[in-house]
Amino acid sequence: MKTADRLRIALVVQRYGLEVSGGAELHCRWLAEHLSQYYDVHVLTTCALDYARWDNHYPPGRDQINGVQVRRFRVDQPRDVKQFGRLTSQLLGRPHTYLDELEWMRQQGPLSTDLIECILRQRRGYDVFIFFTYLYATTYFGMQLVPDKAVLVPTAHDEPVIYLSLFRPLFNLPRLIVYNTEVERRFVERVFDNYHVPSAVVGVGIDVPTGVSGERFRQKYGLEGDFVAYVGRVDASKNCGELFDYFLRFRQGYSGDLKLIVMGRGPLPIPQHPDVVPLGYVSEQDKFDGLQAASVAVVPSRYESLSMATLEGWLAGTPVLVNGECAVLKEQCRRGNGGLYYHSYQEFELGLSLLLTRPGLGKRLAEAGRRFAQKTYSWSAVEQKYQALLSMVTIG
């Protein structure tokens, strides 16, 4: 076994950059930055920024971000969004072949021949390859080249495409699987019968900026009164359409001053309404300032492996209202005792009303969630777990 200071680790992810502000990509960046204290860490990724088309945005070649060495490779071609949507509907709605699924993965992308060839050339140059998310071509094609050195962080959840046949061998392939929650591990092992693959539940730590100030956020954006905060990608896959509908229905019957602040970007149109305020991409400081200023942080997604937005809300001192149709979010709320969950508009209305009209309840929930997040998802705990796991992977 090599000593920690000599281990060379490659993290493989579909896109990477300071502008990528959520999801598995942010998880990957935070982990890379924290592991770089102990290992020689490199990130292998594509030149894409936009996750819908995978257009080449960044220049190919080497970069350094927050002390981490990054190598970017060109995407072979952008994705035809409409064609890919049609293919996905066909696969999920009718019988098809394994070759159809391989074509789906090729179109899913981002497909970078240069990145795949780099993994093949460098398979002996790295001691461990950590692949982020099961869903994309970077993991699907890359991990098959280095299964004996592969750690998979699948960020898996119960969504239609995970039942495609081509994912069964993928989840039985790596040396180790690192899950975000126990709910995610139980789900994956039930679907893929891969109990024999060594695994661990680790999750991710959360970096909170110093000097978080909700008042600073209010002054910067000219906000008064109560507001609900949404942080993340503005996308149908995150169930944002339902959130907008639910909020506007609630707003019609609510007599107080209330706004929905949207911190994030995405392809889904945001309603043009005076009480829906789109801020687009915001800095980490603004994000936490906004979460602290919010009365409630709302997480509407049905598909999550771990909600960083929920943890961030708690660490900022804010209760959460989450979609109970997502087993992970529901379990997170139960374990952290830091918020409420809903299964219908009526439950959304009741939960939001309680949190807005009973500030003492919100304060107690937020404090319980903060304690849970600090204990369970501290970076010191995450770093120690990864050091032990990587030592195990590199034995022999």
Tally helices (H) and strands (E) across the chain: 15, 14
Q: Is the preceding omega at residue 95 within 30 degrees of 0, hence cis?
A: no
Shared-domain flag, residues 193 and 247: no
Rounded Cα–Cα distance for residues 9 and 176 (Å): 14
Assess whether 388 and 328 both reside in one domain.
Answer: no
Partners of 201 in the β-ladder = 179
Low-confidence residues of the chain, pLDDT below 70? 1-5, 22, 395-396
Instruction: For residues 58 and 144, state if they share a domain.
Output: yes
- 8 A C-beta contact, residue 104 and residue 164: yes
The model's pTM? 0.82
Do 201 and 239 sit in the same domain of this protein? no
3-state SS class at 78: coil
Looking at residue 377, its pLDDT comes to 83
pLDDT score at 225: 92
- The pLDDT score that the predictor gives to residue 184 is 93
- Same domain? For 190 and 243 the reply is no
Q: Which two tokens stand for residue 195?
A: 């109990």
Confidence at residue 5, expressed as pLDDT on a 0 to 100 scale:
52
Buried b (16+ CB within 10 A) or exposed e, 347-358: ebbebbebbbee
Residue 219 and residue 159 in one domain: no
Instruction: Say if residue 263 is in the same domain as residue 145.
Output: no
Domain count, the chain: 2
Q: Which amino acid is at 185?
A: R
| Backbone torsion region of residue 59, taken as left when φ is above 0, otherwise alpha when ψ lies between -120 and 50, otherwise beta | beta
Check whether residue 192 and residue 227 sit in a common domain.
Answer: no
Of 286, 335, 334, the C-alpha closest to 312 is 286
Residue 92 maps to which CATH number?
3.40.50.2000
Helix, strand, coil shares of the chain, percent, nearest 5, are 45, 20, 35
Task: Write out the H or E segment, with its range, that includes residue 284.
Answer: helix 284-293
| Residues paired with residue 298 on neighbouring β-strands, in sequence order | 321
Q: What gap in Å lies between CA 92 and CA 217, rounded to an integer?
A: 44
pLDDT at res. 173 = 96
CB distance 218 to 257 below 8 Å? no
DSSP 24-63: HHHHHHHHHHHHTTTSEEEEEEESB--TTT--B-SPSEEE
Q: What local confidence, expressed as pLDDT, does residue 200 receive?
A: 95
Burial (CB count within 10 angstroms: exposed 0-12, middle 13-18, buried 19+), residue 144: middle
The boundaries of the domain holding residue 27 are: 4-205+378-393
**74 and 9, same domain (yes or no):** yes
Element (DSSP H or E) covering residue 132: strand 128-132
Q: Which structure tokens are listed for 21?
A: 């502000």
Q: What are phi and psi of 322, to 5 degrees?
A: -125, 160
* Nearest partner of 132 among 191, 193, 204, judged by Cα: 204
In tens, the pLDDT along 235-261 reads 998 999 999 999 999 999 998 899 999
Which pairing describes strands 61-65 and 68-73: parallel, antiparallel, or unpaired?
antiparallel
| Token couple for 363 | 């304060």
* Whether 318 and 268 share a structural domain: yes
Contact 356, 185 (CB under 8 A): no
Give yes or no: residues 186 and 254 share one domain: no
Q: Which residues of 284-308 are buried (b: 16+ CB within 10 A; e: fewer)?
A: eebbbbbbbbbbbbbbbbbbbbbbb
Closest CA to 277 of 292, 301, 294, 253: 294
Do 190 and 55 have their domain in common? yes
